[in-house]
Structure 1
């Protein structure tokens, strides 16, 4: 996710607790979705779609934070 921001992501994961929580939650949802799609965990199509929307919302928030820090030159 966001390879162009790899260095900034690494920095923010250690300096910005809000960013770190969002990033961890995004990864957690990603794994949960994969497990449901691979039938490792139970989940209906509707539940998977709901989780995907939540994950996308988190990704949008992460991107906004990354762009803000990029513009600030952090």
Structure 2
């Protein structure tokens, strides 16, 4: 769905406490989460506003977002 929120709290509501704890105690996790949130916001803005952008560009951004989400999830489960 276009413009759908993919923030970590929305994606993993059952891990809310763990996300909060890692965000404050683990600088690497916080940095990755900031990158993830930034890419997610840009993707949503592009989709919602219908900003002209090459398909390859938006797909690459979505791949980056997915890669970051995978890394963050691995850290949450560790």
Give the alignment's TM-score, normalised by structure 2. 0.80
Alignment pair present for 1:10 and 2:20: yes
Residues 6-63 of structure 1, C-alpha deviations (whole Å, 9 max, x = no match): 0010011100000001111111000100111123654221100000000000000000
Alignment pair present for 1:24 and 2:30: no
Alignment pair present for 1:53 and 2:53: no
Give the alignment's TM-score, normalised by structure 1. 0.84
1:67 alignment partner in structure 2? 77
Total equivalences in the alignment = 68
Q: Which has the higher contact order (CA 8 A, sep 6+)?
A: 2
CA distance in 2, matches of 1:31, 1:41: 13
What is the alpha-carbon root mean square deviation over aligned residues?
1.3
Gaps of 5+ in 2: 1-10
Largest Rg, 1 or 2: 1
